[in-house]
Structure 1
Amino acid sequence: MKKISTIAFSGGVGGAKLALGLARALPPDELLIVANTADDFDHLGLHICPDLDTITYTLCGRANRSQGWGVEGETWSCLDALSELGGPDWFRLGDRDIATHLYRTQRLREGARLSEVTAEMCAAFGIAQRLLPMSDDSVSTIVHTAEGELPFQDYFVRRRCEPRVTGFHFAGADSAAMHPELRAGLDSPHLRAVIFCPSNPFVSIAPMLAIPGIEEALRSIHTPIVAVSPIIGGKAVKGPAAKMMSELGLPISSLAVAKHYRDLVTAFIVDETDSDEVACIRELGLACEAMPTLMNNDDDKLRLARSVIAYCHELSR
């Protein structure tokens, strides 16, 4: 096992930004990035891993910078032709992105594990860091809404987050296995930081914690576990986290996210905009710091990554 010093748990766009910063701040063999794969689904015969792909494209510099997901300079000829045929075009698959899904689907049909395919793709894209799906087994986020249960992509993309959320469950999580590399990383004597990236706590981080053994392993380590808030100034920077919190009867605040994590994490990081919440978070028994967390460019990502790493090391002294 490589000398992993930092493990980052990440969802899609927001988490991928910090993952990129960490990748630039640390030697490649010291970082393990664990991606949420409960958003994965089969569409048009292809196995699609939205969060895993967003992190992959971000790490190799191919991500669409304005959207945060997909490929920069993408073309849409296949989707346009599919639409002309009356096929399902609600999930946007670009021409270059389709190649990723074709390769993954074929390799999985040949019997390869998802982690093996991910490693092959990272090598092809020149990514030196280890990127790991949360499990090689299938887990699916199901969103409970006022209109009934919806698979995550139906809720998120097809329905554009319109139905009112009442809860979640993660189908298949009970029988999914934590990847051995994650177990080894958490057991590593070199481990100095575990970071929850600023991803949705309910549908990006929670599915990973639902896999048997992961939360228990986190509770058993003495390494600082630090979560970065996805909420800034009462709003989610990206995605439906704020809407979900409101519909679940929670205040849209970093404090509410800290309460969600309070029994697991060591410390919590809020944006400097929310520095007035630091004292309340510390009253929960968590260490807390305010720092600039908005990542508008690559310099911001690297700066935040270095600050988070330094804070983790400070906590471990």
Structure 2
Amino acid sequence: MGGAGRPGLGAAARRGGGPVPVIVALSGGIGGAKLALGLSKVLPPEELLVVANTGDDFEHVGLTICPDIDTLTYTLAGLDNPVLGWGRADESWAFMETLAALGGEDWFRLGDRDLALHVLRTHRLRGGEPLSAITDDLRRRLGIGARILPMSDDPVRTRLRGDAGWIDFQDWFVRQRATPAVRAIEFAGAAAARPQPGVLAALRAGPRAVVICPSNPFISIEPILAVPGMREAIAVCGAPVVAVSPIIAGQAVKGPTAKMFSELGMEPSAAAVAARYGALLDGYVMEEGDDATGIAPHVFRTRTLMQTLDDKVALARAVLAAAEALR
């Protein structure tokens, strides 16, 4: 697969007199943001809606931090830090240096430019604005055409159970460097959360495809699907659902995906990721040469490693071509 032009484009589908995003992409942070960037380069901005995981969100030094939303925002705005892989480019660290000198918690690093976003978001949330409205306003101010919406405006928090008990996700992932073995996962607050209305509206209006980006299924995609009504809305939306494997040759490109599979008693593989999504999938995009044995949905093979912008665009085209082939 690859260079298939701009499949499925043309006039955006319309419902109720307004344009409807034709691609709804579910995304976590770094890996998902790479594909989202590729999609943004081959789709008109009004035809892309990125649904961000908020299970990673947490409160730190009095601020509401939304790591996956911020990674998506910085990446699509061209402001991401390619050296660190997170945060903003052209960053400075005076705040963190001063915080540490005063005895504050400095295990989660907030750059000075990044800090402004967290302060403003927290201020607006405390003023009663929903997270989705704040996110949408900030992406517009940063010149992003595609929409970014949280999976829910209600708080959902991913927690992991290790041998010593339950751990908040960022404590496990950042402060403890993902070292404790993972025995179980829960999404606190998910049962009472409501899907973000704009996400449901896009799904009900009939998108051309739902894309599950190459993100960790346990902690990036499954929190989205755990919001009551979200999985069902995707299943009945009438569009092909295509996932991209985050596993290549049994290893995750970045992050603890393979480690988590092993600790939860599953062999890390592209097939294991597909099995997590089960009957929700119509198509599965995976690395050339990886074993597709046991994968139920239709398999599309291409290069899935995204090291350059051209790689991201090529994978985006391959995913769109796969979705079009399934229509």
2:249 matches 1:233: yes
- Range moving further from structure 2, 264-273 or 141-150: 264-273
Match of 2:187 among 152, 155, 170: 170
Quote how far apart the aligned CAs of 1:221 are.
2.4
Gaps of 5+ in 1: none
Q: Match of 1:186, as an amino acid?
A: L
Higher relative helix content: 1
Q: Residue by residue, what CA displacement relative to the aligned partner does 1:99-123 show, whole Å, maximum 9, x if unpaired?
A: 0101101111111110010011111
Gaps of 5+ in 2: 1-17
2:308 matches 1:297: yes
Match for residue 104 of structure 2? Answer: 87
Match for residue 73 of structure 2? Answer: 56
Q: Match of 2:59, as an amino acid?
A: D
Q: d(CA) in 2 for partners of 1:246 and 1:57?
A: 32
2:172 matches 1:161: no
Match for residue 217 of structure 1? Answer: 233
Match for residue 146 of structure 1? Answer: 163
What secondary structure does 2:203 align onto? helix
Match for residue 7 of structure 2? Answer: none
Quote how far apart the aligned CAs of 1:2 are.
2.6
TM-score, normalised to structure 2's length?
0.93
Runs of 4+ in 1 over 2 A off after TM superposition: none
Quote how far apart the aligned CAs of 1:252 are.
1.2
Q: d(CA) in 2 for partners of 1:169 and 1:38?
A: 10
Q: d(CA) in 2 for partners of 1:296 and 1:112?
A: 37
Asked if the contact 1:278–1:290 (Cα under 8 Å) also holds between the matched residues in 2, the reply is: no
2:299 matches 1:280: no
Quote how far apart the aligned CAs of 1:279 are.
4.5
Q: Match of 2:114, as an amino acid?
A: D
Q: d(CA) in 2 for partners of 1:149 and 1:311?
A: 40
Q: Residue by residue, what CA displacement relative to the aligned partner does 1:70-113 show, whole Å, maximum 9, x if unpaired?
A: 01121111100111111100001100000010110111111111
What secondary structure does 2:143 align onto? coil
Match for residue 179 of structure 1? Answer: 196
Percent of aligned pairs with the same amino acid: 51
Q: d(CA) in 2 for partners of 1:82 and 1:279?
A: 52
What secondary structure does 1:262 align onto? helix
2:321 matches 1:310: yes
What secondary structure does 1:38 align onto? coil
What secondary structure does 1:68 align onto? coil
Q: How many residue pairs were aligned? A: 310
**Pairwise CA RMSD:** 1.0
Q: Match of 2:34, as an amino acid?
A: K
- Range moving further from structure 2, 119-128 or 65-74: 65-74
Q: Match of 2:42, as an amino acid?
A: A
Asked if the contact 1:232–1:273 (Cα under 8 Å) also holds between the matched residues in 2, the reply is: no
Q: d(CA) in 2 for partners of 1:310 and 1:26?
A: 13
2:258 matches 1:247: no
Match of 2:286 among 262, 266, 270: 270
